[in-house]
Amino acid sequence: MENIDWKNLGFGYRKTDYNIRCYYRNGAWGELEESSSEFINLHMAATTLHYGQEAFEGLKAFRGRDGKIRIFRMDENARRLQDSCDGTLMARLPVEKFQEAVKRVVKLNERFVPPYESGASLYIRPILFGTGPQVGVKPAEEYLFIVFVTPVGPYFKGGFQTTPFVIMREYDRSAPLGMGKYKVGGNYAASLVAGERAHQLGYSNIFYLDAKEKKYIDECGAANFFGIRNNTYITPKSSSILPSITNKSLMVLAEEMGLKVEQRPVPVEELSTFEEAGACGTAAVISPIERIDDYDENKTYLFSPDGKPGAICEKLYKKLRAIQYGDEPDPHGWITVLE
Ligand code: PLP
Ligand code: COI
């Protein structure tokens, strides 16, 4: 295994051995190719560069106590990438090809999958983008799909700890009839200024409200939101947020733990009624929310007066991680064990 200080790994890029590539040319996807280069040779008029014809995914592989490597819900990421392709008029990558590429890239970089005890994981980043030249605003005729991996620790400093978020109405990341439901680079470009501002003020990230009315909760930076009240798991239904695979999984786990689950528009005032709140996503896992400051209305919604994660957040976190690392059975078939 690679000699890395696994326990102190942050969330960043680190070079690994190989990536997998697949080209779309003449109306068809080619064979998967292995590459040991971190670079690509790209036409300067490629549609990805000027018209943002691009989408990506994020998923993880985990090394269990038994030494085996487990990949979490890659079929879901494959389908979400297809949705993003539809939303940007890119060539759809077949689900099987996506899965094959993910399994191969993890296998080839096996020595970078962190050890079980470290609590770290291997982040898998598939990207698909238009490489064909255009100057008119039109979809490309050629595409490239790449999957690379990088070992990562917690997304927010300190791992499973509460952090603060901030509502700032002067920033939107996506509109109700726009691209928020797709995982496309433009949404992240649109969030950089707000994210930097939030970081400078000491927050984990911005807490977005719906762009049209600023009445409902959307999501927290690059993670979905959930609140807990009266043994109920409440999470926003919105056309401008990313359908999180972690959130979808947590809704199943919450129900199995005997919680009620509600997915519906959540008015911002409802924040004052939650006993616990969390941000969830592949990178974030569950990041319990300490408080949300409403910057414009000079108001604070406090969820964790003692700074500690709430009991239900912790239970959900432990359950999800136990399935991912193979400590508990996988009754829903979410795990692919690497051969
Ligand atoms: N929302 C946004 C904007 C994201 O970038 C992510 C990360 O993928 C999520 C939510 C969480 O989604 P998932 O749980 O599928 O990683
Ligand atoms: C993820 O959770 O996979 C994300 O995409 C978050 C961020 C690194 C973009």
Please state, in angstroms and rounded to a whole number, the distance separating the CA atoms of residues 112 and 117: 14
Q: Does domain 163-324 have CATH number 3.40.50.720?
A: no
Atom 9 in ligand 2: which residue has the minimum CA distance?
Answer: 222
Greatest Cα pair distance, the chain, in angstroms, is 60
In the chain, where the domains are located: 6-152, 163-324
Q: Which ligand is nearest to the CA of 246?
A: 1
pLDDT for res 154? 83
* Confidence class for position 156, pLDDT limits 50, 70, 90: confident
* Confidence class for position 334, pLDDT limits 50, 70, 90: very high
Mutational pocket test of ligand 2: of 77, 225, 282, 320, the residue with most ligand atoms within 8 Å of the beta carbon: 282
Q: Does domain 6-152 have CATH number 3.30.470.10?
A: yes
Mean pLDDT for the stretch of residues 190-196: 97
Q: pLDDT tens digit string along 120-130?
A: 999 999 999 99
What is residue 112's DSSP assignment? Answer: G
Both structure tokens of 185? 């680079």
Please check the confidence at residue 79 and state whether its pLDDT lies above 90. yes
Q: Which ligand is nearest to the CA of 155?
A: 2
* Confidence class for position 324, pLDDT limits 50, 70, 90: very high
Mean pLDDT for the stretch of residues 201-224: 97
Please state, in angstroms and rounded to a whole number, the distance separating the CA atoms of residues 122 and 42: 27
Q: What is the DSSP string of 175-236?
A: -TTTTTTS--HHHHHTTHHHHHHHHHTT-SEEEEEPTTTS-BEEEETTBEEEEEETTEEEEE
Closest ligand 1 atom to Cα of 58: 8
Q: pLDDT tens digit string along 18-65?
A: 999 999 999 999 999 999 999 999 999 999 999 999 999 999 999 999
Pocket around ligand 1 at a 6 A CB cut-off? 58, 219, 222-224, 242, 244-247, 281-282
pTM strictly above 0.75: yes
Please check the confidence at residue 213 and state whether its pLDDT lies above 80. yes
> Is there an atom of ligand 2 within 6 Å of 281 CB?
yes
* Confidence class for position 155, pLDDT limits 50, 70, 90: confident
pLDDT for res 1? 77
Mutational pocket test of ligand 2: of 155, 242, 245, the residue with most ligand atoms within 8 Å of the beta carbon: 155
Find out whether 204 and 165 touch, Cβ atoms under 8 Å: yes
Please state, in angstroms and rounded to a whole number, the distance separating the CA atoms of residues 115 and 1: 9
Please check the confidence at residue 159 and state whether its pLDDT lies above 80. no
Please state, in angstroms and rounded to a whole number, the distance separating the CA atoms of residues 223 and 250: 13
Q: Which residues are catalytic?
A: 183
* Confidence class for position 139, pLDDT limits 50, 70, 90: very high
Please check the confidence at residue 332 and state whether its pLDDT lies above 90. yes
Task: Tell me the average pLDDT of the chain.
Answer: 97
Closest ligand 2 atom to Cα of 246: 2
pLDDT for res 2? 79
Please check the confidence at residue 158 and state whether its pLDDT lies above 80. no
Ligand 1 centre distance from Cα of residue 165 (Å): 16
Please check the confidence at residue 170 and state whether its pLDDT lies above 80. yes
* Cα angle for residues 10, 33, 84 (degrees, 5° grid): 65
